[in-house]
Structure formats: structure tokens, C-alpha cells
Amino acid sequence: MLPTHHRRVTAACAAVAAAGALVLAGLPGSASAQADPATAPSRSAAPSHSAAESAAVGRTSPEILRAMRRDLGLTTAQARTRLVNEAEAGAVAGALRNALGRDFAGAWVRGATSATLTVATTDAADVPAIEARGARAEVVGHSVRRLDAAKARLDRAAHKAKTRDAPVWYVDVRSNAVVVRAVHASAATSLVSAAGVDTSLVRVVRTTERPRPLYDLVGGEAYYMGGRCSIGFPITKGSQQGFATAGHCGRAGTATSGYNQVAQGTFQASIFPGRDMAWVATNSQWTATPYVKGQGGQRVGVEGSTQSPVGASICRSGSTTGWHCGTISQHNTSVTYPEGTISGVTRTTVCAEPGDSGGSFISGSQAQGVTSGGSGNCSSGGTTFHQPINPLLQQYELTLKTTGGGDPGPGDPDPGGTWAAGKVYAAGDTVTYGGATYRCLQGHQAQPGWEPPNTPALWEAV
């Protein structure tokens, strides 16, 4: 008899075995078969493979595909294939994270187009279940829970310790360690010692990087507030329209004008340092749209906010440097700027320069975050951090402006339950809907049409 959590792994794998090529970022559908009728409501129809591909990448902007061709060395067909495969990997990783529980030690994808998924565990008994889902298994010494706890201690110690010479630290699931990037190794040693973290959990990497916020110069859809920054993503808060952006661009009460120097709005709230998030309420002359600005004025549609996994492709929009793409290096990163330390940001290989601050990070059609800061530039290469969009939406109770959710399909007009459109869900959250219980696979903001029975890439029946 398997231990309890291993029975859960086996059951979870059986329940999602029919999912196939899941759609990108929670758009409705799965590839080749219906979900297991024992675990999914009978009304959950599964679209054909072509329908899933269309949902995953059919509405992805040509600007995204062109930037992926240029920066990742892919053909258009390869870029589309990569997006579909990354979407499938994200859903499978979410299901296994929920099933492995305390054993889970991270997941990541790699490969130019294949997006091969690796799932790490601290228990070798989990390997068959991981491999049964088509993922590569890796047995490691530390769980994500333990590494996250160690990083949280570093975050707390950073409030008192000097971290200018050890400016970046994060949980690196691929090396199964908390990595501290330091200009001087002694600075990393001091931070780890002050935090009381077991040194066996930490790997120190020497670096010359000194990240800074990306201020000034015109970006994407630029806005002005004494300096210049970029709009991240248009949002609404009830009937109020506005946009999300970086906290270092302004404080509550700061007035803004648009790219055309017309009065635009006012910062309603801002956090920096600690986090790097803010939102601006605009006046009636400005209308929130579900787009970000691409090269040549082309518009890029935003359909949701499902977070992509480590190793996935990601692109950024900013007026200083235009469109650039790369990959996600780590989530849950902390970085020290001259103004202080911020935590919970995502580190990427995408380049950026001053003036790109606040601008949009997007994977396929899914909003990822707003540009915070970085090091290097788009001539010699660099590293850029973004504030994830879902915590920002949750913090200020904002609704991302999107091009529209999927077709909700047949169902009860009032199914009842705790699931709610507009709420931000994290991986592992549970809800009820139509008399059934579901567990979240990938973090996202819920939308009408993305009800749990309709989105097997986002929810699994439990």
C-alpha cells in the first residue's frame, strides 16, 4: 500500500492523463480526450486538438511571434509549438505540485521548442508517478517548502543587513538551492549568517551586476510624472479605469500625463521598496483597453494572467528598447536596489533599459508582470526583473482588462460554490463549483468563461 500522498499522486495522474496538449494559460479546452469521468463533471467537453492549438496560440500577437523569432532564434512554427508545449507543461507541473505535497521540489522546462518538463521531488518513490505524466523526474535533497522558508529568512534579515554587495537572491529549483548573487562573497556570507540559514541550502554566485530601477526615457505607452515611465497593463476597479505599473515610478497622489502630454490620472497606491507595484486611476478622457503596445504601433492582445513556469519564454514591451524576448530564470526573487530591497519578483533573461520601467511582460497572450529593474542593456545583454501581475491585482483588488474569456458552454445558470470571477487564485488553492471541489494548477485571475469545469489547464477536480 502506498503512503497517503503517493496514493494522491497516482489518483492525480489518472485524473489528468487525458488532458493532452492543454491550452495556454487556462484558456478552455484540452487536446485529445475528455477528462476522467470519475473526477470531472460530465458537462466538461474537450475540444479537438486543433481547437486547443487555436486557443493556445491562435490569438497570440504576431508581434510576440516576431520577437520570439528574433531573440530566441525560432521560426514562427517553432514559436507556436513552444507556446503550446509550455502551456501543457505548466498544467502538468501544477497537477504534480498538488499531488506531491511536501515532497515537491520544483518544476521547470527546457528546450528550444520541446519545452521538456522536469519535476523534482525529495522522495524517490514519486519517480514513477512523475514519469507517468511524461515529465522527467529528479530526486533532490530539499523541498521547495524548505527553500522558500530559507529565502524568507534572508528577506527578513535584509531589513537590517547591508545587501548592496549581495543584491540578488532567489530560490533556484534547477540547482535545488537558494542562490545569493554577490559582488563580494563576504557580503553573501554576512547575509546568510545574519539570517541563520543553514549554509547547505545556499549557493553563492559571484556577479558584477548592480541592479537599479529603470527610470526616465519614454517607454511603451509612456506617461509622465516629473520623470517618465511605461504603462504596464490596463485595469479596472469597479467602474474606475486605469493601469498597473511599477511602484518606483510614483507615490500615492502623484499626478500623471499621457504620452501626448494630456492630463491622465493620479497614482492611487504604491509600494516601493518591499515590492514594486502601483496603480493609476485615469480620468474620463482615457479608456482602458485589453492591449499592450508593440513595435510599429501594433496592438498585442491580453487574454489573461496565468503565470508561466521557470524556463518558459517571455517577452517585454518598452518604448526605449521595443520588443525583446527571453526566458524566465527564477520566480520568488529578491533584489536590492539603491533604494532598498524588493521581494517576490521574477528574474528573466530579457534585456531592458531606463524608460522601460512599468512596462509589460507577457508570455503568449498572458500578462506576467510589470518591469521593475535590472542590469546590463539591450546591446550587450542583461537581466531584468518584473513584479508579477497577479499579486499586484490582488493587492489592490484590480481586474485585468482582457480581450474576453472563453465560451462558458452549457451549465447551470447559478451553479453555486466559492469560485468567483475577478478573484486571483494561486497554485494549490481550492474552490467549489456546481457541487464539485477543484484545486488550482496555475496562478491566475479568474474570468467569466474560465469556470473550473471549462479550464482543465487551470483546475483539477479533487
Catalytic residue numbers, as ranges: 248, 276, 357
The rounded distance, in Å, linking the Cα atoms of 92 and 208 is: 37
| Contact yes or no for 57/24 (Cβ under 8 A) | yes
The rounded distance, in Å, linking the Cα atoms of 276 and 266 is: 17
Which DSSP state fits 296?
A: G
Handedness of CA 21, 15, 390, 383 (dihedral sign): negative
**DSSP string for residues in 405-455:** -----S--SS--BS--TT-EE-TT-EEEETTEEEEESS-EE--TT--GGG-
**DSSP string for residues in 5-61:** HHHHHHHHHHHHTT--SPPGGG-S--SSSPPPTTTS-TT-----HHHHHIIIIITS-
Closest CA to 318 of 349, 275, 284, 361: 361
Q: Which residue has the cell 514562427?
A: 76
Give the cell for residue 383. Answer: 537581466
Element spanning 315, H or E: strand 313-318
Which DSSP state fits 103?
A: G
Q: Is 228 helix (H, G, I), strand (E, B) or coil?
A: strand
Q: Which residues contact 440 (CB under 8 A, 6 or more apart)?
A: 94, 425, 426, 427, 428, 429, 430, 431, 458, 459
Q: What are phi and psi of 312, to 5 degrees?
A: -75, 160
| Contact yes or no for 270/34 (Cβ under 8 A) | no
